[in-house]
Every structure is written in C-alpha cells, then in structure tokens.
Amino acid sequence: MFGSLGAPELLIILAIVVVLFGATRIGDIGKGIGRGIREFRREIKDGEEGEEKKPEAEVVAASTSAPPEAPGEDTKPPSQPD
C-alpha cells in the first residue's frame, strides 16, 4: 500500500500538513515528542538503577535491625504493671 510512495508524493503530503497545522505548530509538536522521548528514557534509566540499588538497601536495613535472639532466651515481652 505505502510501497509506491516516492519523493514527490511525500513532498505533497508534507505541504498539506504544513498548510493544515502551520509551521510553528509542527515545531511545537516536534519539541513535545522530543521531551516525551527524553523523559521516557530517563525513567527507564532510573528504573534500572533503582533495581540495581534495591539489594543494597535491603542489606543495609538488615544490618541495622536488632540481632536475632539466641535459642533458649525468653521471648515474652517485658511484664506490664497490672
């Protein structure tokens, strides 16, 4: 279907688009698309870095928690006054 589009046909289509939307509007659309692509790439990169850092955060959290109690120690909470 689109295999027969050559340079003259593409130029005609481009001219129609410029007439319909205007040159400034087409520039704004291009800028918006560029910003969207940059934001998407940034989010993908941040997501990959977050997954790599996640195990480190778990290790730090585990090392700062209280040590496990030794077997045989009393595990009841401290007595509360009645």
Digit-coded pLDDT (tens) for 55-67? 555 555 555 655 5
List the domain range (segments joined by +) for residue 43.
27-63
28 contacts 37 by C-beta, under 8 angstroms: no
pTM: 0.42
Question: How confident is the model over 23-37, as pLDDT tens digits?
Answer: 888 889 899 999 999
Torsion of CA 17, 21, 23, 28, to 10 degrees: -120
Q: What is the mean pLDDT of residues 18-22?
A: 88
Identify which of 6, 5, 29 has the alpha carbon closest to the alpha carbon of residue 17: 29
**Tally of structural domains, the chain:** 1
Cα separation, 2 vs 4, whole angstroms? 5
**Gap between the Cα atoms of 17 and 63, Å rounded:** 62
pLDDT for 24 = 85
Instruction: Flag whether 54 is in a domain.
Output: yes
Residue type, 67: P
Q: Binning pLDDT at 50, 70 and 90, where does residue 39 land? A: very high
Inside any domain, residue 40: yes
Residue 52 domain-assigned (yes or no): yes
Q: What integer best gives the mean pLDDT of the chain?
A: 77
Question: Would 39 be classed as within a structural domain?
Answer: yes
Taking each helix axis as running N to C, give the angle between helix 7-21 and helix 23-64, from 0 to 180 degrees, rounded to the nearest 10: 90
